[in-house]
Copies of this chain bind each other. A is one copy, B any other.
């Protein structure tokens, strides 16, 4: 006993199936329904097209600050695919692809980035939380959702996302620690896109991988190629299956890259080299997935044209709908409580009077 290494019962492993060069590890390749594969591709592409469109809208002043998810689509999409409808998903703002899969319409995303609270409301029957802005804060209610799932005993699980930057926050730690102690059905997915605004992954934590942080909580960690949708699906399925059957939480590190700016308010040229971006471009999850489908004979040129046209129409329609959206300007008082307090009723009246005055003639001067 005097001086011995501690034996660590938890596993920390890496996983990759579909390499950037198109090679597939056929031992690990999941057998997916071709229709699903096509739908997954369509969703990934919708996300990419939406991203491009949102950037344009932002530059035209038709949208607020926008945070792209370019290059990170596979990570959330793979997770979303591996969940069942009644499982929970807790996103950050880089999980657009996964949420599109879950049924969130493009229109809602436009509302969100367009500055309307309505952008936070999932469609009926969709069990996802809206975007969380305070980094890693959502880990806590993600953990709480998993806790609720466990106490309900119906085999539901919760997948929760945060970024590599988010792992530095206390919330990340506390949530994972609770998940470990209560053996919660939580799949914690860290999108390690290598940057937290201008702070590189290497300056975010001295831990060599994010996945190994699992050891601090007595759980398994898996470092997955996050640009490889097959690996993301396999990893999540494994974690979900474990969670569903009482095996507890898993930490998944999805290694990916933020190909675009942090948000439209950001200029990445200030802090990162173009070379690094160039290095990652060929590893783009969309290119890789497309090549995979082509090789499998699931995608040909006419098929692609058709998908392109459908997506373009869908996005166009969403933009129209978004731009026609109107909101009662006094609405923001309405949802503070189930029943407005007397003081808020008075303030709402004040507000309505003010709004009417705004459209009425100016009061007479003091005599």
Contact = CB atoms under 8 A, between A and B. Distances in A.
Interface of A: 1-6, 8-9, 11-17, 25, 27-28, 167-174, 177, 180-181, 183, 203-209, 211-213, 215-219, 221, 223, 248
List of 6 A-B pairs having minimum Cβ-Cβ separation, nearest first: A170-B170, A180-B206, A206-B218, A173-B173, A216-B216, A213-B216
Contact of A13 (B4, B170, B217): B4
Nearest to A175: B170
A5 B12 contact: yes
Given A206-B218, A206-B219, A218-B205, A15 B2 contact: yes
A248 B207 CA distance: 13
23 contacts: A1-B14, A2-B17, A2-B25, A3-B28, A4-B13, A6-B12, A6-B13, A6-B208, A6-B209, A8-B215, A167-B177, A170-B174, A180-B207, A181-B205, A183-B206, A206-B218, A206-B219, A206-B248, A208-B218, A212-B215, A212-B216, A213-B215, A213-B216
A207 B218 contact: yes
Contacts of A216: 205, 207, 212-213, 215-216
Contacts of A2: 15-17, 25, 27-28
Q: How many identical chains are in the complex?
A: 2
Contact of A16 (B1, B8, B167, B206): B1
A15 B5 CA distance: 9
A111 B106 CA distance: 64
A142 to B, nearest CB: 15
B208 A8 contact: yes
Nearest to A4: B14
